[in-house]
Amino acid sequence: MENKLKQPRERADVELRYKWDLDSLYVSDEAWEEDFKKVKSLFNEVKKYKGQLDHSSETLFEALSLHDEISRLVGNIYTYAKMKQDEDTRNSKYQALTDRATGIMVEAEESISFIVPEILMMDGEKINSYLQEKEELKVYSHSIDNIMRKKKHVLSPREEAILAQTGEIAVSPETVYGMLNNADLKFPSIKDESGNDVEITHGSYIPLMENKDRRVRHDTFKAFYDTFYKFKNTFAATLSGNVKKNIFYSKLRNYNNALEASINENNIPAEVYHNLIKAVSNNLDSLHKYVALRKKALGLDELHMYDLYTPIVKDVDMKIPYEEGKEMVLEGLNSLGEEYVSIVEEGLKSRWIDVYENRGKRSGAYSWGTYDSNPFILLNYQDTLDNVYTLAHELGHSLHSYYSKKNQPFVYGRYSIFLAEVASTTNEALLMDNMLKKVKSKDEELYLLNHFLEQFRGTVYRQTMFAEFELAIHQHVENGQSLTADWLCETYKELNKKYYGPDIIVDDEIAIEWARIPHFYYNFYVYQYATGFSAAIALSQKILSEGESAVNDYIGFLKSGSSDYPINVLKKAGVDMTTPEPIEKALKLFGDLVNKMEELL
């Protein structure tokens, strides 16, 4: 397994069983081309309904059905092309397919852009009478309610069509960033603890930062971020372009700011975002204590940013090959019941997962797929405990998708972004609980506690820091200022000082870390990791303490998709995110675990 770390393989050299099987999307590129042609023909068909939606319940139903058919096909087309590109971002064939898929996605949005404005122009009583009159139309009741809710933010049909045409331009900052970060950026090699040359990659960076040898960590950290610094102005330009895009759309749609425009999409009050930052900022003392504890446990005179990932317990060496990691995850999820575990087993056997890093492969991890396909998971698996948790995490996403699309019509078959991190983090919490119950020594318990506290730090504190940074950069531009590389670096470094406290040296290199975070291109996404983690802690504790009844409620939550507003879907499972209670409970648990670790040390 050492070779994977030192020398990423070419994709052709990765065993078939460790590559995902995209046949449930398209059995060939030719099948993809057929759907590409088919969806083009539907654009003309849907135009026939323009200006006709209020004529009858039948007309409204036919237009909405056609809207779904187009969205469904375009989703398949884009997802396949992008996932094929992600296998090896250097592959020009799939770069071209992705470019075409992006283009047809924009065409699709333009072709159906008249539907929402026309519904908004309809009289509410007429819509209600149509819903009563035609049984098949009732499936769209919540969807229509969601449209009417955003009435003041939707433009005229002509303006909506023009906005749809800007879509291809709008993704340019993210596209340029992705190509620079994933395909063109090349990191140097460093000497490992044995004196061997090791190439730094996105996939190997964290395992190297977990290395017991402090010199290896230092050299990795410096080489990694020095590479980003060489391109700091380009990264600043792409991020600035993305922020300006968000603000442009928020103004056109009559929102007060970009944050409000983003979170209103899921009917989330802005207070949820601000309350998260406030609650975490008021509870930084536990994080500061944890940092001080890490410094003491590692026996360091000075704790640096490159010391944050290495395990506190030096004597436990947990190298976990993928096959072993799979079994650990399956056992950890037993408390979710036989049905849930059997679906996970099916996914593991049926090549839902693209396991190992190869040259050119997209960095990181994700779960994706469409209403018509299996869920799919992209990993860049290294033999670490962290990667076992990544597997559990992404399986949580995939099972959420699986249950939603099996139990909801297409229109509600995807769960909302606000709920996206709940199922994934619930899996992680259940896995950790199971592993802590089976510890064989104090050192192993400390190691697992350290890992869970790191997950906590990374998901609640770190993502909230990201959320605060994202809010700051948007507000800076909304106040008429420019996002220069120097301002971004200074702002980011100061936030690190605030969050990590007085017992760590905040190295200059960390100031450029914002440049490696792709989530800053996802339009106020990251705060949901922290809210989702908090909700997941509440749900996992209910599952472990209440058993079958809580599992049934939880599976019901997974089956709900987007059939109701996300705040309501979560309330039905027993968690109310409109209050600070779940966040405060999660932060209290973090503090309790820090105290427990202190006692064991």
Return the pLDDT at 5.
45
* Between 85 and 385, residue with greater pLDDT: 85
Whole-number pLDDT of residue 67? 97
Q: What is the pLDDT of residue 442?
A: 87
Q: How confident is the model at residue 454 (pLDDT cuts 50, 70, 90)?
A: confident
- Span 154-179, mean pLDDT? 90
Check the CA dihedral 389-394-396-397 and report its sign: positive
Strand partners, 412: none
How far is it, in rounded angstroms, from Cα 81 to Cα 62? 29
Q: State residue 3's pLDDT score.
A: 40
Q: Is the pLDDT of residue 421 over 90?
A: no
**Cα dist. 430→325, 333, 343, 527 in Å?**
15, 6, 17, 22
The Cα–Cα gap between 109 and 97 comes to: 18
Share of the chain above pLDDT 70, in %: 98
Catalytic residue (one of 62, 87, 394, 421): 394
1 pLDDT band, cuts 50/70/90, is very low
Q: How crowded is residue 14: how many other Cβ atoms within 10 Å of its Cβ? A: 19
Asked if the model's pLDDT at residue 2 lies above 60, the reply is no
β-partners of residue 377 are 353, 367
The pLDDT of residue 579 is above 80: yes
For the segment 87-102, the average pLDDT, to the nearest whole number, is 95
Per residue in 22-72, pLDDT (tens digit) is 999 999 999 999 999 999 999 999 999 999 999 999 999 999 999 999 999
CB 430 within 8 A of CB 333: yes
Mark 177-210 as b/e (b = at least 16 C-beta within 10 Å).
bbeebbbebebeebebeeeeebebbbbbbbbbbb
- Rounded CA-CA distance 208/195 in Å is 14
The rounded distance, in Å, linking the Cα atoms of 14 and 270 is 46
How high is the pLDDT of residue 6? Answer: 54
Q: What value does the mean pLDDT take over residues 161-176?
A: 91
pLDDT of 466 over the 50 cut: yes
Q: What is the mean pLDDT of residues 378-386?
A: 92
Per-residue pLDDT averaged across 349-373, rounded?
95
232-252 and 214-229 helices, crossing angle to 10°: 60
Here the tokens at position 213 are 């040898």
Nearest to 309 by CA among 322, 320, 298: 298
Asked if CATH classification 3.40.50.12280 holds for the domain at 26-170, the reply, yes or no, is no
Sequential DSSP letters for 372-399: TS--EEE----SSHHHHHHHHHHHHHHH
In what helix (H) or strand (E) does residue 368 lie, and over which residues does it extend?
Answer: strand 366-368
Q: 10 Å Cβ neighbour count for 487?
A: 15
Give the pLDDT band (50/70/90) at residue 498. Answer: very high
Q: What's the confidence (pLDDT) of residue 581?
A: 85
Domain residue spans in the chain? 26-170, 186-230
Q: What are the Cα distances from residue 301, in Å, to 43, 119, 295, 322, 509?
A: 66, 65, 8, 37, 20
Place of tokens 């003392």: 285
pLDDT at 543: 94
Other beta carbons within 10 Å of 481: 11
Specify the pLDDT at position 278. Answer: 93
Confidence band for 566, pLDDT divided at 50, 70 and 90: very high
Do the Cβ atoms of 199 and 8 come closer than 8 Å? Answer: yes
Cα 268 from Cα 577, distance rounded (Å): 10
pLDDT at residue number 314 = 67
- Does 465 have pLDDT greater than 50? yes
CB proximity list for 580: less than 8 A, separation 6 or greater: 275, 279
Architecture (CATH level 2) of domain 186-230: Orthogonal Bundle (1.10)
Q: Answer yes or no: 302 catalytic.
A: no
> What number is the average pLDDT over the span 193-215?
93
8 A C-beta contact, residue 201 and residue 187? yes
Residue 558 has pLDDT above 80, yes or no: yes
Q: Average pLDDT, stretch 270-294?
A: 94
Q: What is the pLDDT of residue 160?
A: 85
CA distance 455 to 57: 51
For the cut 80, the answer to whether the pLDDT of residue 4 exceeds it is no
- Tens digit of each residue's pLDDT (9 = 90 or more) over 98-149: 999 999 999 999 999 999 989 998 988 999 999 999 999 999 999 999 999 9
Confidence of residue 346 (pLDDT cuts 50, 70, 90): very high
pLDDT digits (tens, 9 = 90+) for 198-208: 999 998 999 99
Tell me, what's the pLDDT at 386? Answer: 86
Nearest to 287, CA basis, from 87, 475, 504, 478:
504
Average pLDDT of the chain?
93
